[in-house]
Structure formats: structure tokens, C-alpha cells
């Protein structure tokens, strides 16, 4: 297998996996937002506490913070794939 073919395959696989990860992160954000609502409701009844709420906000922040980093990597893989397939015009 040539080096160019290997780079193209790696870029394509990385790009596809990145898209899947982006989808999962978006689902995690929605899930964390729902968890925050549920915890806030639970705090009023005494079933949940502030630590639960802080953990949920921390999880939400981690997912939100990971998205721009992942998007930058997706662009990197996309450009790499364009370069290796000769789709870039100079």
C-alpha cells in the first residue's frame, strides 16, 4: 500500500469517527441539560443536592468545550483528505 493511500485512508477514517463523536457530544449536551433540569427539580424536593448540580454543570461544560476542538480536528482531516486526493487547487 502506498504512503498516499495510507494517509487518505487514515484521514477518511479519522474524519468519519470525528463526525460520530460530534454527534455523540451533541447528544451528551442535550442529556446534560435535561439532567440539570431534573436535578434542579430534585433539589426543591430534597432528593438532590448542590454537588449533583455542580457535577452536571461540569459534565455539560466538558462536552461544550470539546466540540470546538473536535471541529478543528475535523477540518484538519478534511483538508488532509482534499490534499491527498488532489482536490485542492493552488
**pLDDT category, 90, cuts 50, 70, 90?**
low
Grid cell for residue 83: 490534499
List domains and CATH numbers for the chain: 3-84 (1.10.287)
C-alpha span between 75 and 17 (Å, rounded): 13
pLDDT, one tens digit per residue, over 32-86 is 999 999 999 999 888 999 999 999 999 999 999 999 999 999 999 999 989 888 8
SS3 (DSSP) at 29: helix
User: In this predicted structure, what is the pLDDT of residue 13?
Assistant: 94
Amino acid at each position: 500500500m502506498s504512503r498516499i493511500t495510507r494517509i487518505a485512508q487514515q484521514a477518511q477514517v479519522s474524519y468519519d469517527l470525528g463526525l460520530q463523536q460530534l454527534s455523540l457530544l451533541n447528544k451528551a449536551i442535550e442529556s446534560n441539560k435535561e439532567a440539570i433540569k431534573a436535578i434542579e427539580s430534585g433539589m426543591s424536593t430534597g432528593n438532590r443536592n448542590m454537588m449533583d448540580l455542580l457535577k452536571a454543570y461540569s459534565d455539560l461544560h466538558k462536552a461544550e468545550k470539546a466540540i470546538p476542538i473536535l471541529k478543528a480536528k475535523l477540518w484538519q482531516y478534511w483538508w488532509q483528505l482534499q490534499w491527498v486526493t488532489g482536490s485542492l487547487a493552488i
